[in-house]
């Protein structure tokens, strides 16, 4: 038996062999019917193995591309992954505290903990300021100092101010950002980390 699922190693949806599956079902005459499938699946391209949990009930309907109501299921996978995300920092040696916050932020995004993810992104900007020995009373001013000291460009400073606000909204107002927004902010922060710590001209010959 096969299923089509995303394979984080192949980086795309592939055919998976269902190695084992357990199904719980419920509901009946007076109750909504539901089913929860637990399966171990193996990618037919690279043999990567994942655990998949898939839940659906009769209220879970949505419109498809041609406007018809169709049932959908909530699927989650273990180990968790971010679809279409490419790890950018693994080949660089970056300061340990920045690396740690980055890893925790990634885990928060993978598990859809977007409030924590926004706070994590803001913490990375704080950590970058600390690494650069910038001591100002708040993060807004620290970003301005990073700019004034030529560590970041004007464009980067503008983007970091937006990430600072994103973190503030999350921490003080519990306002949840969208996943798209968080992924965009993650991309900005990762490029900044590479610019600051990852690239070196030592090995580059003219
Ligand atoms: Zn694969």
Q: Kindly give the distance from the C-alpha atom of residue 20 to the centroid of ligand 1, in angstroms, as a whole number.
A: 18
Looking at residues 128-144, what average pLDDT do you find?
94
Looking at residues 149-160, what average pLDDT do you find?
94
Residue 64, preceding peptide bond in cis (omega within 30° of 0)? no
58-75 pLDDT, tens digit each:
999 999 999 999 999 999
Q: Kindly give the distance from the C-alpha atom of residue 42 to the centroid of ligand 1, in angstroms, as a whole number.
A: 8
pTM for this structure? 0.77
Q: Where are the alpha helices (DSSP H) in 80-178?
A: 96-110, 114-131, 139-148, 154-173
Q: Kindly give the distance from the C-alpha atom of residue 117 to the centroid of ligand 1, in angstroms, as a whole number.
A: 27
Q: Give the list of residues 6+ apart from residue 22 with CB closer than 8 angstroms, or none.
A: 37, 38, 39
The pLDDT of residue 19: 97
Q: Which two tokens stand for residue 64?
A: 């498809």
Q: How confident is the model at residue 132 (pLDDT cuts 50, 70, 90)?
A: very high
162-188 pLDDT, tens digit each:
999 999 988 888 888 899 999 999 999
Q: How confident is the model at residue 9 (pLDDT cuts 50, 70, 90)?
A: very high
* Whether residue 124 has pLDDT greater than 90: yes
Q: Kindly give the distance from the C-alpha atom of residue 112 to the centroid of ligand 1, in angstroms, as a whole number.
A: 23
Q: Kindly give the distance from the C-alpha atom of residue 10 to the centroid of ligand 1, in angstroms, as a whole number.
A: 4
Q: Kindly give the distance from the C-alpha atom of residue 2 to the centroid of ligand 1, in angstroms, as a whole number.
A: 14
The pLDDT of residue 147: 95
* Whether residue 20 has pLDDT greater than 90: yes
Whether 96 and 81 have beta carbons less than 8 Å apart is answered as no
Q: Give the list of residues 6+ apart from residue 27 with CB closer than 8 angstroms, or none.
A: 33, 34, 57, 58
Q: Kindly give the distance from the C-alpha atom of residue 80 to the centroid of ligand 1, in angstroms, as a whole number.
A: 14
d(CA 169, CA 171): 6
The pLDDT of residue 28: 82
Q: Which two tokens stand for residue 91?
A: 């080949």
Q: Kindly give the distance from the C-alpha atom of residue 7 to the centroid of ligand 1, in angstroms, as a whole number.
A: 5
d(CA 127, CA 121): 10
The pLDDT of residue 86: 81
Q: Kindly give the distance from the C-alpha atom of residue 22 to the centroid of ligand 1, in angstroms, as a whole number.
A: 23
Q: Kindly give the distance from the C-alpha atom of residue 43 to the centroid of ligand 1, in angstroms, as a whole number.
A: 5
């Amino acid at each position: 038996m096969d299923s089509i699922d995303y394979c984080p190693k192949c980086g795309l949806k592939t055919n998976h062999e269902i190695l084992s599956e357990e199904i719980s079902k419920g509901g009946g005459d007076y109750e909504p019917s539901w089913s929860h499938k637990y399966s171990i699946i193996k990618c037919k391209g690279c043999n990567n193995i994942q655990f998949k949990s898939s839940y659906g009930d009769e209220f879970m309907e949505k419109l498809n591309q041609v406007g018809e109501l169709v049932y959908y299921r909530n699927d989650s996978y273990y180990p968790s992954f971010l679809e279409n995300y490419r790890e950018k920092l693994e080949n660089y040696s970056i300061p340990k505290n920045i690396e740690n916050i980055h890893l925790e932020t990634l885990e928060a995004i993978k598990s859809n903990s977007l409030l924590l993810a926004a706070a994590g992104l803001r913490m990375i900007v704080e950590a970058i300021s600390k690494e650069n020995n910038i001591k100002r009373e708040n993060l807004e001013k620290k970003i301005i100092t990073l700019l004034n000291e030529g560590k970041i460009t004007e464009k980067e400073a503008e983007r970091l101010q937006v990430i600072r606000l994103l973190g503030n909204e999350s921490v003080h107002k519990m306002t949840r950002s969208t996943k798209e927004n968080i992924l965009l902010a993650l991309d900005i922060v990762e490029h900044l980390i590479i610019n600051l710590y990852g690239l070196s001209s030592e090995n580059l010959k003219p």
